Amino acid sequence: MSNKSKGSNTERELVSLFTENGWRALRVAGSGVNDNSPCDVIVGKAGKKGYAIEVKSSRSSYIYIKKSQIEDFLLFSEMMGLRPILALRFIYEGWIFLALDKLQDSGKNWVISKDRAQVEGKRFAQIF
């Protein structure tokens, strides 16, 4: 299975999680493929502010994200009036949701370790 297919399946899994919990969620067409789709999933619920979600998964203990990708993601979220949040899935760990200010600067990328994500992040029920 290609990395693109794995990413798409991960995004679909997250959309299902939100849908099963009373939210409306949709995958953004072309996310990760072109510059016009700066987030992976958008979710909303009546009476709640919506979220723009960047989805990342890894078999490694670290996730690296290009700084330019985060800049575009933040700009998009702000323009759309959505709260930006990262949805991370490390192998065998389940979903962890993380605010962008918890990322660490590694030079040209932002990085988050699995250990830090477990301490700084929150589970689905803690946020949604």
> Catalytic one among 2, 8, 16, 31?
31
Decide if 31 is catalytic.
yes
Q: In what order do the strands lie in the sheet with 104-105?
A: 62-66, 109-113, 104-105
* Strands in 29-125 per DSSP E: 41-44, 51-58, 62-66, 83-90, 94-98, 104-105, 109-113
| Residues identified as active-site | 31
